[in-house]
Amino acid sequence: MKTTLAVFALALTLSTSAFAGDRLVYTVKGHEVLTLKKISKTRFTKISQVVTGQASLDYITAKGTKNLSSQEINEASEELVSLEVTGKNVVRLIDIKENINKEIPATVSTSLFGSVKAITVSAQTMEGLYAASMKKSGLDTLRNLRLLGGAISSSIVSTDMTCAADGDLLICQQDQTLTLLAQ
């Protein structure tokens, strides 16, 4: 229903003011909390993954900005995700939903007895792993509007994924912002 109203409002706005330089901006800001359970000293499997945040669609003209749609995000994922420390500063990340099974560089902190205390994966590494699916998700939303004839550009900004051990749990957090611009 919100999408239908947004499309109607966008069509009305585009039909009444078609100035050069008008832009359509789709922004998704999310905070992800991934909770993993300890399987061994160096291996963890997901027990929950929740993304919360905000998605908005704005129409920008020389006269100002008009919000066409805004929606809260609160999504959980059921697919398998696991992390395993395979080397001094190397982690194997498996994410079934995104078809990822790779060893990646990470900063790993361990206890004297070899148990993982913390893991940090750089934003650049995480962006490289997940950029294709994030862009596809946003581009699909814009293409469904079927009102765009211009170029679409995108940007993804992420924070490092930081994980901290809490007993038998490893709690990982990361923020991401996806911005798609159609002119």
Share of the chain above pLDDT 90, in %: 56
Predicted confidence at residue 36, as pLDDT, reads 97
Tell me how far apart the alpha carbons of residues 115 and 85 are, in angstroms, rounded to a whole number.
Answer: 10
pLDDT in tens, 129-161: 887 776 676 655 655 554 545 677 778 888 999
Q: How many CB atoms lie within 10 A of CB 44?
A: 26
- Ranking 24-28, 87-91, 135-139 by mean pLDDT, the lowest is 135-139
Both structure tokens of 160? 């490092």
> What pTM did the predictor assign?
0.77
Beta strands in the chain (DSSP E): 23-38, 43-61, 64-76, 81-87, 90-95, 100-105, 107-110, 116-121, 152-158, 161-166, 169-182
pLDDT in tens, 31-88: 999 999 999 999 999 999 999 999 999 999 889 999 999 999 999 988 999 999 999 9
Predicted confidence at residue 8, as pLDDT, reads 37
